[in-house]
Amino acid sequence: MALTLAESAKLSTDMILAGVIETVIKEEHILDQLPFVEVVGTSFVYNRLNTEPTVSFLDVGDTWTEDTPDFTQLSVQLKILGGDADVDNFIQASRVNVQDIEGAVILQKAKALARTWADTFVNGDTGSDPKEFDGIDKICAGLPASQTISMGTNGGTLTLAKLDEMIDAVRTKNIALIMSRRTRRTLQSLIRTSGAILESRPGAFLEWVQLYNGVPIFINDYISNAQTVGTSSDCSTVYCFTMGEADQGVIGLTAPGGMQVEQIGELESKDATRHRVKWYSAIAVLSTLSLARLIGVRP
């Protein structure tokens, strides 16, 4: 059963771990909404629908034809993301009345984990680094050509018509958009020019989430604005995807227990205590129609 990180934080009895999960969500808001499925073992195996079954109208006495869907079995391996953080025992003891140094160090490590995960969520490529998981850009490139919409041979300025075309390429429900800040500024300008404004709703942590025609917009600072399309090298990409297992969309994968914070203990070589923040995770795209991208978006 899928569970968001925000919900898993409520179930944690460890205050440090709950604080780490909350920090990760605040750092990358996509993690507030993306459902995660617990994976027992090292990989998640699933069947992706290729061809839907067909039905037809028949007359009395007609011969019924059997027709079944066609699937491709795929497997996604969990990847190890994390790092160690040392807390100087003297500083922790002498400065605890000013600030909890241990807590501050661990939370900074959590922020680094969130940023690296957000980068990999878009740009991950096991071909370049087998230690990471494939991100939505590489996965989308392997989907049918209909799931990639282009602004033109050499790119072009974003238009609402092209954005709508890309959104329509996603046939499943519970969708979201993810883009760079520059692209969001362009979208805001287009909406204002049309005489409207982007809707907004409050998020889980009092932040405002903007909406385009009811579709939430998430910002990812790791979507490059310097991609090359044709002769243009100032392009970016916008993604649209469905979130959740029930809608055959994009899901997060996590080992049982989710994120973990371990106290490794006192170090022999220095007067410090080591903590380890780690997460065994990945993502999966369940349906070929649950993810699309718009490439060649110029300023």
pLDDT tens track for 117-165 = 999 999 999 999 999 999 999 999 999 999 999 999 999 999 999 999 9
Mean pLDDT of the chain: 89
pLDDT at residue 162, rounded to an integer: 97
- Cβ pair 137, 122 in contact under 8 A: yes
Distance of CA 157 to the CA centre of its chain: 25
pLDDT at residue 39, rounded to an integer: 94
Percent of the residues in the chain that have a pLDDT greater than 90, as a whole number: 62
Token digits of residue 292: 């699309």
pLDDT at residue 200, rounded to an integer: 83
Give the span between the Cα atoms of 94 and 101, in whole angstroms.
10
What does the pLDDT look like over 216-254, one tens digit per residue? 999 999 999 999 999 999 999 999 999 998 889 999 999
- Cβ pair 201, 211 in contact under 8 A: yes
List the chain domain ranges.
5-50+71-298
**Residue 100 clears pLDDT 90, i.e. is over it:** no
| Residue 101 dihedral angles phi and psi, to the nearest 5° | -60, -40
The larger pLDDT score, comparing residue 17 to residue 45, is at: 45
Look up the CATH number of domain 5-50+71-298.
3.90.1690
The larger pLDDT score, comparing residue 104 to residue 156, is at: 156
What does the pLDDT look like over 185-212, one tens digit per residue? 999 999 999 888 888 887 766 678 899 9
Q: 187 Cβ partners below 8 Å, 6+ apart?
A: 158, 163, 179, 198, 212, 217
